Structure 1
Amino acid sequence: MSKKPAKDKANGGTIALNKRARHEYHLEERHEAGLELQGWELKAIRAGRANISESYAVIRHGELFLFGAQITPLIQASTHVLADDRRTRKLLLHRHEIDKLVGKVERDGYTLIPTAMYWKGSKVKLELALAKGKQTHDKRANEKERDWQREKQRAMRAHNKNA
Protein backbone atom coordinates (compact mmCIF):
# COMPACT_ATOMS: atom_id res chain seq x y z
CA MET A 1 0.00 0.00 0.00
CA SER A 2 1.40 3.39 -0.88
CA LYS A 3 1.02 6.34 1.43
CA LYS A 4 -0.19 9.71 0.23
CA PRO A 5 2.53 12.34 0.56
CA ALA A 6 1.64 14.56 3.50
CA LYS A 7 1.84 18.29 2.92
CA ASP A 8 4.51 19.42 5.35
CA LYS A 9 4.20 23.06 6.43
CA ALA A 10 7.92 23.10 7.16
CA ASN A 11 8.79 22.72 3.47
CA GLY A 12 7.82 25.85 1.58
CA GLY A 13 4.32 26.53 2.85
CA THR A 14 3.04 30.08 2.86
CA ILE A 15 2.27 31.45 6.31
CA ALA A 16 0.93 34.93 5.53
CA LEU A 17 0.52 37.13 2.46
CA ASN A 18 0.24 40.90 2.16
CA LYS A 19 -2.24 41.13 -0.72
CA ARG A 20 -2.81 44.85 -0.19
CA ALA A 21 0.85 45.62 -1.00
CA ARG A 22 0.36 45.19 -4.76
CA HIS A 23 -2.59 47.55 -4.68
CA GLU A 24 -0.94 50.26 -2.58
CA TYR A 25 2.64 50.18 -3.95
CA HIS A 26 4.74 49.73 -7.09
CA LEU A 27 6.90 46.74 -6.11
CA GLU A 28 10.42 46.85 -7.56
CA GLU A 29 12.97 44.38 -6.11
CA ARG A 30 12.33 41.47 -3.77
CA HIS A 31 14.66 40.21 -1.05
CA GLU A 32 14.46 37.24 1.29
CA ALA A 33 15.14 37.90 4.98
CA GLY A 34 15.20 35.70 8.04
CA LEU A 35 13.27 36.61 11.19
CA GLU A 36 14.58 36.64 14.73
CA LEU A 37 11.72 34.98 16.64
CA GLN A 38 11.04 33.81 20.16
CA GLY A 39 9.77 30.32 20.96
CA TRP A 40 6.15 31.30 21.55
CA GLU A 41 6.12 33.17 18.22
CA LEU A 42 7.21 30.09 16.32
CA LYS A 43 4.47 28.02 17.95
CA ALA A 44 1.89 30.68 17.11
CA ILE A 45 3.10 30.82 13.49
CA ARG A 46 2.76 27.04 13.22
CA ALA A 47 -0.82 27.47 14.42
CA GLY A 48 -1.42 30.04 11.64
CA ARG A 49 -1.69 33.15 13.80
CA ALA A 50 0.52 35.55 11.81
CA ASN A 51 -0.57 38.71 9.99
CA ILE A 52 1.74 41.02 8.00
CA SER A 53 -0.85 43.18 6.22
CA GLU A 54 -0.08 46.36 8.21
CA SER A 55 3.64 45.85 8.65
CA TYR A 56 6.71 47.58 7.24
CA ALA A 57 10.48 47.38 7.63
CA VAL A 58 12.77 50.16 8.86
CA ILE A 59 16.54 50.51 8.87
CA ARG A 60 17.97 51.71 12.20
CA HIS A 61 21.68 51.88 13.05
CA GLY A 62 22.59 49.65 10.10
CA GLU A 63 20.09 46.91 11.06
CA LEU A 64 16.69 46.01 9.65
CA PHE A 65 13.60 45.78 11.86
CA LEU A 66 10.03 44.68 11.18
CA PHE A 67 7.28 46.88 12.65
CA GLY A 68 3.56 46.17 12.86
CA ALA A 69 3.60 42.44 12.13
CA GLN A 70 1.08 40.71 14.35
CA ILE A 71 1.73 37.25 15.76
CA THR A 72 -1.09 36.47 18.17
CA PRO A 73 0.20 34.32 21.05
CA LEU A 74 -1.26 30.95 21.91
CA ILE A 75 -2.60 30.91 25.45
CA GLN A 76 -1.08 27.53 26.29
CA ALA A 77 2.32 28.32 24.71
CA SER A 78 3.06 31.63 26.42
CA THR A 79 2.07 31.11 30.05
CA HIS A 80 5.43 32.09 31.55
CA VAL A 81 6.25 34.88 29.06
CA LEU A 82 4.66 38.30 28.76
CA ALA A 83 3.92 38.14 25.03
CA ASP A 84 3.67 41.29 22.90
CA ASP A 85 1.93 40.40 19.63
CA ARG A 86 3.18 43.48 17.73
CA ARG A 87 6.72 43.69 19.04
CA THR A 88 9.56 44.91 16.84
CA ARG A 89 11.37 41.95 15.30
CA LYS A 90 14.87 41.98 13.84
CA LEU A 91 15.30 40.94 10.21
CA LEU A 92 18.36 38.95 9.23
CA LEU A 93 20.17 39.79 5.99
CA HIS A 94 23.77 39.89 4.85
CA ARG A 95 25.62 43.16 5.39
CA HIS A 96 26.00 43.88 1.65
CA GLU A 97 22.23 43.40 1.15
CA ILE A 98 21.45 45.78 4.02
CA ASP A 99 23.89 48.37 2.60
CA LYS A 100 22.21 48.14 -0.80
CA LEU A 101 18.78 48.60 0.79
CA VAL A 102 19.98 51.57 2.87
CA GLY A 103 21.06 53.33 -0.32
CA LYS A 104 17.72 52.73 -2.04
CA VAL A 105 15.61 53.73 0.97
CA GLU A 106 17.53 56.85 2.01
CA ARG A 107 18.53 58.25 -1.38
CA ASP A 108 15.81 57.07 -3.75
CA GLY A 109 12.80 57.27 -1.43
CA TYR A 110 11.77 53.63 -1.44
CA THR A 111 9.86 51.84 1.34
CA LEU A 112 10.45 48.28 2.52
CA ILE A 113 7.18 46.33 2.54
CA PRO A 114 6.84 42.66 3.53
CA THR A 115 4.86 40.79 0.87
CA ALA A 116 4.97 37.21 2.14
CA MET A 117 5.97 35.11 5.15
CA TYR A 118 6.76 31.48 4.43
CA TRP A 119 8.62 28.36 5.59
CA LYS A 120 11.97 27.51 4.06
CA GLY A 121 13.04 24.23 5.57
CA SER A 122 12.39 24.67 9.26
CA LYS A 123 13.03 28.42 9.21
CA VAL A 124 10.59 31.30 8.78
CA LYS A 125 11.48 33.67 5.96
CA LEU A 126 10.03 37.03 4.99
CA GLU A 127 9.89 38.37 1.45
CA LEU A 128 10.64 42.11 1.45
CA ALA A 129 9.92 44.30 -1.53
CA LEU A 130 11.40 47.70 -2.34
CA ALA A 131 8.30 49.73 -3.08
CA LYS A 132 7.12 53.19 -4.03
CA GLY A 133 3.63 54.35 -3.10
CA LYS A 134 1.00 54.54 -5.82
CA GLN A 135 -1.02 57.65 -6.48
CA THR A 136 -4.82 57.44 -6.64
CA HIS A 137 -4.86 57.71 -10.44
CA ASP A 138 -2.43 54.77 -10.70
CA LYS A 139 -4.75 52.63 -8.58
CA ARG A 140 -7.71 53.58 -10.79
CA ALA A 141 -5.76 52.72 -13.94
CA ASN A 142 -4.89 49.30 -12.54
CA GLU A 143 -8.52 48.71 -11.63
CA LYS A 144 -9.66 49.66 -15.16
CA GLU A 145 -7.07 47.30 -16.65
CA ARG A 146 -8.22 44.46 -14.38
CA ASP A 147 -11.87 45.08 -15.33
CA TRP A 148 -10.99 45.15 -19.03
CA GLN A 149 -9.10 41.83 -18.75
CA ARG A 150 -12.10 40.28 -16.97
CA GLU A 151 -14.53 41.52 -19.67
CA LYS A 152 -12.19 40.27 -22.39
CA GLN A 153 -12.10 36.80 -20.78
CA ARG A 154 -15.91 36.73 -20.55
CA ALA A 155 -16.27 37.71 -24.19
CA MET A 156 -13.77 35.06 -25.28
CA ARG A 157 -15.53 32.41 -23.19
CA ALA A 158 -18.91 33.36 -24.68
CA HIS A 159 -17.45 33.34 -28.22
CA ASN A 160 -15.83 29.93 -27.75
CA LYS A 161 -19.02 28.54 -26.23
CA ASN A 162 -21.06 29.60 -29.28
CA ALA A 163 -18.51 28.36 -31.80
Structure 2
Amino acid sequence: MKEKFFVFNKKVYYNFFIKEKINAGLILKGWEVKSLRLNKVTIINSYVTVLDKKIYVYNLDISPLKTVCNHIQFDSKRVKQLLLKKKEIEFLQNYINKKGFTIVVLGLFWKKSWCKINLAVVKGKKKHDKRNILKKKIWNVKKTRLLKKNI
Protein backbone atom coordinates (compact mmCIF):
# COMPACT_ATOMS: atom_id res chain seq x y z
CA MET A 1 0.00 0.00 0.00
CA LYS A 2 1.34 3.41 -0.97
CA GLU A 3 1.41 5.98 1.82
CA LYS A 4 0.09 9.48 1.23
CA PHE A 5 2.51 11.85 2.94
CA PHE A 6 1.25 15.06 4.50
CA VAL A 7 4.86 16.19 5.05
CA PHE A 8 7.56 15.10 2.60
CA ASN A 9 11.32 15.73 2.44
CA LYS A 10 12.23 16.18 -1.25
CA LYS A 11 15.86 17.07 -0.51
CA VAL A 12 16.59 13.48 0.53
CA TYR A 13 16.33 12.26 -3.07
CA TYR A 14 18.68 15.03 -4.23
CA ASN A 15 21.35 14.64 -1.52
CA PHE A 16 21.35 10.88 -0.87
CA PHE A 17 21.20 7.42 -2.44
CA ILE A 18 18.34 5.54 -0.77
CA LYS A 19 19.10 1.92 0.21
CA GLU A 20 16.14 0.87 2.39
CA LYS A 21 12.82 2.30 3.62
CA ILE A 22 11.03 1.51 6.89
CA ASN A 23 7.80 2.76 8.47
CA ALA A 24 7.72 3.44 12.21
CA GLY A 25 5.33 4.78 14.80
CA LEU A 26 5.93 8.00 16.75
CA ILE A 27 5.43 8.64 20.45
CA LEU A 28 3.78 12.07 20.59
CA LYS A 29 2.09 14.35 23.09
CA GLY A 30 -1.45 15.67 22.59
CA TRP A 31 -0.47 19.16 21.46
CA GLU A 32 1.97 17.65 18.94
CA VAL A 33 -0.79 15.60 17.32
CA LYS A 34 -2.97 18.71 17.01
CA SER A 35 -0.11 20.60 15.38
CA LEU A 36 0.58 17.70 13.01
CA ARG A 37 -3.06 17.70 11.89
CA LEU A 38 -2.55 21.34 10.84
CA ASN A 39 0.84 20.60 9.15
CA LYS A 40 2.85 22.71 11.63
CA VAL A 41 5.95 20.52 11.23
CA THR A 42 9.34 20.64 9.47
CA ILE A 43 11.46 17.57 8.83
CA ILE A 44 14.22 18.97 6.62
CA ASN A 45 17.25 18.18 8.83
CA SER A 46 15.75 15.25 10.74
CA TYR A 47 17.86 12.19 11.43
CA VAL A 48 17.67 9.04 13.54
CA THR A 49 20.01 7.49 16.12
CA VAL A 50 19.92 4.40 18.31
CA LEU A 51 20.59 4.77 22.06
CA ASP A 52 20.23 1.88 24.55
CA LYS A 53 18.37 -0.28 22.00
CA LYS A 54 15.78 2.46 21.54
CA ILE A 55 15.52 4.57 18.43
CA TYR A 56 15.09 8.37 18.50
CA VAL A 57 14.47 11.05 15.89
CA TYR A 58 16.20 14.45 16.20
CA ASN A 59 15.37 17.85 14.64
CA LEU A 60 11.74 16.94 13.98
CA ASP A 61 10.37 20.43 14.64
CA ILE A 62 6.69 20.53 15.59
CA SER A 63 5.56 24.08 16.32
CA PRO A 64 2.89 24.50 19.00
CA LEU A 65 -0.49 26.04 18.29
CA LYS A 66 -1.36 29.38 19.85
CA THR A 67 -4.75 28.07 20.99
CA VAL A 68 -3.32 25.29 23.19
CA CYS A 69 -3.20 25.67 27.02
CA ASN A 70 -0.66 28.01 28.60
CA HIS A 71 0.26 25.75 31.53
CA ILE A 72 1.98 23.17 29.27
CA GLN A 73 5.72 23.59 28.57
CA PHE A 74 6.32 23.33 24.83
CA ASP A 75 9.59 22.00 23.42
CA SER A 76 9.25 22.01 19.64
CA LYS A 77 12.64 20.30 19.10
CA ARG A 78 11.96 17.55 21.66
CA VAL A 79 13.67 14.25 20.87
CA LYS A 80 10.94 11.79 19.93
CA GLN A 81 11.10 8.04 20.41
CA LEU A 82 10.09 5.77 17.55
CA LEU A 83 8.19 2.50 17.79
CA LEU A 84 9.90 -0.37 15.98
CA LYS A 85 10.34 -4.11 16.46
CA LYS A 86 13.63 -5.45 17.84
CA LYS A 87 14.66 -6.93 14.48
CA GLU A 88 14.05 -3.61 12.74
CA ILE A 89 16.12 -1.74 15.36
CA GLU A 90 18.99 -4.24 14.95
CA PHE A 91 18.72 -3.88 11.18
CA LEU A 92 19.02 -0.08 11.44
CA GLN A 93 21.83 -0.38 14.02
CA ASN A 94 23.85 -2.50 11.57
CA TYR A 95 23.50 0.15 8.86
CA ILE A 96 24.47 2.95 11.26
CA ASN A 97 27.63 1.04 12.22
CA LYS A 98 28.66 0.79 8.55
CA LYS A 99 30.70 3.74 7.35
CA GLY A 100 28.87 6.34 5.27
CA PHE A 101 25.30 5.30 6.07
CA THR A 102 22.78 7.36 7.99
CA ILE A 103 19.05 7.22 8.62
CA VAL A 104 16.90 10.21 7.68
CA VAL A 105 13.19 11.03 7.69
CA LEU A 106 11.44 10.81 4.31
CA GLY A 107 7.99 11.87 5.40
CA LEU A 108 5.06 11.71 7.78
CA PHE A 109 1.72 10.09 7.00
CA TRP A 110 -1.49 9.07 8.73
CA LYS A 111 -2.47 5.42 9.06
CA LYS A 112 -6.01 5.47 10.35
CA SER A 113 -5.69 7.89 13.29
CA TRP A 114 -2.00 7.15 14.00
CA CYS A 115 0.85 9.34 12.76
CA LYS A 116 3.58 7.24 11.16
CA ILE A 117 7.05 8.22 10.01
CA ASN A 118 8.83 6.90 6.92
CA LEU A 119 12.57 6.40 7.46
CA ALA A 120 15.23 5.82 4.83
CA VAL A 121 18.70 4.31 5.15
CA VAL A 122 20.82 6.55 2.93
CA LYS A 123 24.35 7.13 1.72
CA GLY A 124 25.45 10.64 0.78
CA LYS A 125 25.96 11.70 -2.84
CA LYS A 126 29.11 13.42 -3.95
CA LYS A 127 29.05 16.46 -6.23
CA HIS A 128 30.05 14.42 -9.29
CA ASP A 129 27.22 11.94 -8.62
CA LYS A 130 24.69 14.78 -8.68
CA ARG A 131 26.14 16.10 -11.95
CA ASN A 132 25.99 12.66 -13.60
CA ILE A 133 22.36 12.19 -12.56
CA LEU A 134 21.49 15.63 -13.96
CA LYS A 135 23.23 14.79 -17.26
CA LYS A 136 21.25 11.53 -17.51
CA LYS A 137 17.96 13.35 -16.90
CA ILE A 138 18.77 15.95 -19.58
CA TRP A 139 19.77 13.22 -22.04
CA ASN A 140 16.52 11.29 -21.41
CA VAL A 141 14.47 14.43 -22.13
CA LYS A 142 16.41 15.07 -25.36
CA LYS A 143 16.07 11.43 -26.37
CA THR A 144 12.28 11.46 -25.97
CA ARG A 145 12.05 14.69 -27.99
CA LEU A 146 14.14 13.20 -30.80
CA LEU A 147 12.03 10.04 -30.86
CA LYS A 148 8.80 12.08 -31.00
CA LYS A 149 10.14 14.12 -33.96
CA ASN A 150 11.10 10.99 -35.91
CA ILE A 151 7.69 9.35 -35.46
Per the normalisation by structure 2, the TM-score is 0.90
Contact 2:100 2:124 survives alignment (8 Å): no
Q: Which residue does 1:141 correspond to in 2?
A: 132
Match of 2:24 among 7, 20, 33: 33
Q: Is the CA contact (8 Å cut-off) linking 1:73 and 1:83 kept in structure 2?
A: yes
Select the residue among 76, 99, 102 that pairs with 2:67: 76
CA contact (8 A) 1:43 1:77 kept: no
Deviation (angstroms), 1:156: 4.7
* Structure 1: gaps spanning 5 or more residues: 1-11
Alignment CA distance shift 1:79-1:109 (3 Å): same
The equivalent residue for 1:22 is 13
CA distance in 2: counterparts of 1:54 and 1:127, whole angstroms: 14
| Structure 2 residue 112 is matched with structure 1 residue 116 | no
Q: Which one of the candidate residues 62, 67, 79 is aligned to 2:58? A: 67
Give distance in 2, aligned partners of 1:154 and 1:38.
52
Give the counterpart letter for 1:40 in structure 2.
W
CA deviation after TM superposition for structure 1 residue 152, in Å: 3.2
Matched residue SS, 1:64: strand
CA 1:64 to 1:38, structure 2 compared with 1: closer, same or farther past 3 Å?
same
Q: Tell me the TM-score normalized by structure 1.
A: 0.84
1:82-161, aligned counterparts within 5 Å? 82-156=73-147, 159=149
- Alpha-carbon distance change, 78 to 27 in structure 1, aligned in 2, over 3 angstroms: farther
> Aligned equivalents of 2:37 and 2:49: distance in 1?
26
Let me know the Cα RMSD of the aligned residues: 1.7
